[in-house]
Amino acid sequence: MIDTATLSLFLLAVLALFLSPGPNMAFVLSHGLVHGARGGFAAAVGISAADLVHTLCAATGVTALVAAWPPSFDVLRYAGALYLLWLAWQALRPAGARSAAEARPAGFARIVRMALLNNLANPKALLFFMVFLPHFVQPARGQVTLQLLVLGVTLSVAALVFNTVLGAFSGQIGRRLQAAPGAAKFQRGFMAFVMAGLALRLLLLDRPSRGV
């Protein structure tokens, strides 16, 4: 099994990654700001659930099979970009053009689902788990698959804790903004801006080299 020193080094590397601005941080912050701490927590749950799926795919070799198919990178990023642009459009739609269900604040399950799909449709996240986790595997200490699963679950739990705190922080800011005139319109615009920005980021991603 993984020794304490390796696991500690892994957690330090994971923390450094969490502190680096990225799509997951932007997703949690924006949903916490618009939907409150509960929305931020829902985003955190969705992201961690996606991390578990990525871990399972990496440990069982599914990720390697997907990465071996050249068009997979573009298929994932275009699908993810279209989904994010749809979310941006939903945020910008006038209230009068929405149904009663759409006009209500996004529910917990819906935000979890959005965060899950956003993460799973990111080809960089898929490749990250395939490349990052094996660096901390020690074949001499037991089954490689089991070690990958332990590392992935550890990362997922750490992500849940970090993103929950991040969501609570942005939720507090969002609550303070509620009293300001035009707060709802600003929050919808901010959400659309973030989603469109994430979509553009996906579209501009460079396809990894064959060595990755």
Query: Which tens digit of pLDDT belongs to each residue from 112-141?
Result: 999 999 899 888 888 888 888 888 988 877
What's phi and psi for 200, nearest 5 deg?
-65, -40
Q: What is the DSSP letter of 68?
A: H
Instruction: Kindly list the distances between the CA atom of residue 15 and the CA atoms of 38, 113, 200, 207, in Å, as whole numbers in the listed order.
Output: 23, 25, 26, 26
Report DSSP letters for 106-164, one per residue: PPHHHHHHHHHHHHHT-HHHHHHHHHHGGGG--GGGS-HHHHHHHHHHHHHHHHHHHHH
Q: How far apart are CA 18 and CA 184, in angstroms?
A: 29
What is the token pair recorded at 111? 């935000």
Note the pLDDT of residue 180: 67
For 35, counting Cβ atoms within 10 Å of its Cβ (0-12 exposed, 13-18 middle, 19+ buried), the class is buried
Q: In the structure, what pLDDT confidence band is assigned to residue 179 with cuts at 50, 70 and 90?
A: low
Percent of the chain with pLDDT over 90: 36
Identity of the highest mean pLDDT range in 29-33, 136-140, 180-184, 204-208: 29-33
Q: Taking the model in full, what pTM does it have? A: 0.82
Q: In the structure, what pLDDT confidence band is assigned to residue 211 with cuts at 50, 70 and 90?
A: very low
**Strand segments (E) across the chain:** none
